[in-house]
Amino acid sequence: MPELPEVETIRTELEPLLLGRRILSATASRMDIIGYPDPRRFRRGIAGARVAGLARRGKYLIVRLDTERELLFHLRLSGRLEVRGPSRPRRFERIRFELDNGRSLAFVEPRVLGRVYLTKTGDYPAALAGMLRMGPEPIQPGFTASYLAAKLARRRSVVKNLLLDQRVCCGVGNIYADEALARAGIRPTRMGGSLKQGEINRLARALRAVLKEGIRWCGTTLADERYLRPGRQAGSFQRRLRVHGREGSLCRMRGCTGVVERRRIGNRSSYYCPVCQR
């Protein structure tokens, strides 16, 4: 599932394919994939725009256009972006953008939870309110241990859920939250407000490290292959996961003999080592 490292990988790999290209038209086979504005205004607004650059904010991929507008994608759980030559639509292709070089950008999204938005630059509608409330990028200098400490202080939710809250810090999803907590030696069920300063320091450092490492290895492609890069290659960070998806396996922390456990926290699976995460 695309989290910060996966979206960043997609941004890097898509940029050379899209930069300077003109978008001729958009064709949607599922209208509900368009989050804003209505499909008619969306199609009219995108036609003729040229791609000026690609950016990322949290889990959103932002295609900057030369028309003072932005095309934003949220891939949610199963979304994928591909640039392809002339071809029949792929299975689960929900919208396609024709480019001026004969190729097209396809948004493939089996579960139809992902969305694409067209907005004036920086002027986000209610459908994108999450963009305005979004917390700092964990891999930027603004994200510090003291910032995180302020966000966790007196909070009674479990720390795992607070890491998934995009207002606390953005881009973290289920996989990297589990991995950051594992590296920091913190159990996901700990109440946010109960973390000591030393633990928060370790957690901030672990978040930065694990997200950067995820980017370096081009993201995590689990066995069910939900996430693929634009050229359909898999990422390779799954080989370096310490706990996520490893229930019943030996903990990968150095010198630890614990066996990874799985528990449901806030209606999603969490993996942790009962020995080295306290």
Partner DNA sequence: CTTGTGTCCTGTAGGC
Partner DNA sequence: TGCCTACAGGACACAA
N- to C-terminal Cα distance for the chain?
27
Q: Indicate whether 157 belongs to the interface with DNA (CB under 7 A).
A: yes
Does the active-site annotation cover 91? no
Q: Indicate whether 181 belongs to the interface with DNA (CB under 7 A).
A: no
Contacting DNA (CB under 7 A), which of 88, 239, 254, 264? 264
Contacting DNA (CB under 7 A), which of 44, 216, 232, 268? 268
Report, in Å, the least distance between residue 268 CB and DNA: 4
The contact mask relative to DNA for 8-47 (x = CB under 7 A, - = no) is ------------------------x---------------
Does the active-site annotation cover 202? no
> 49 or 114: whose CB is closer to DNA?
114
Selecting among 2, 5, 188, 230, the annotated active-site residue is 2
Please give the single-letter amino acid code of residue 47: A
Q: Indicate whether 130 belongs to the interface with DNA (CB under 7 A).
A: yes
Q: Kindly identify the residues of this chain, within the stretch 133-152, that bind DNA according to CB under 7 A.
A: none
> 156 or 239: whose CB is closer to DNA?
156
Residue 83's DSSP bridge partners are 105
Q: How far is it, in rounded angstroms, from Cα 11 to Cα 60?
A: 10
Does the active-site annotation cover 120? no
Question: Interior CA angle at 30 toward 29 and 31, to 5°?
Answer: 115
The contact mask relative to DNA for 101-120 (x = CB under 7 A, - = no) is ---------xxxx-------
Please give the single-letter amino acid code of residue 235: G
> 92 or 217: whose CB is closer to DNA?
92
33 touches 109 (CB < 8 A): yes
> 112 or 234: whose CB is closer to DNA?
112
Q: How far is CA 65 from the centre of its chain?
A: 22
The DSSP symbol for 192 reads G
Sorted by sequence, the CB contacts under 8 Å of residue 275 that are 6+ apart come out as 251, 256, 257, 258
268: three-class secondary structure by DSSP: strand
Selecting among 11, 56, 59, 94, the annotated active-site residue is 59
246 touches 236 (CB < 8 A): no
Q: How far is it, in rounded angstroms, from Cα 234 to Cα 154?
A: 40
Sorted by sequence, the CB contacts under 8 Å of residue 200 that are 6+ apart come out as 145, 148, 149, 152
Tell me which stretch binds DNA (CB under 7 A): 49-57, 62-70, 169-177, 196-204: 169-177
The contact mask relative to DNA for 201-230 (x = CB under 7 A, - = no) is -----------------------x------
Q: CA neighbours within 13 Å on the CB side: how many for 123?
A: 7
| Strand spans (E) along 9-120 | 23-28, 34-36, 51-57, 60-65, 69-74, 80-84, 93-99, 104-108, 115-120
> 212 or 262: whose CB is closer to DNA?
262
> 23 or 71: whose CB is closer to DNA?
71
Residues serving a catalytic function are: 2-3, 59, 268
Contacting positions for DNA (CB under 7 A):
1, 3, 32, 58-59, 74, 76-77, 92, 110-113, 126, 128-130, 154-158, 161, 164, 166, 173-175, 192-193, 224, 264, 266-269
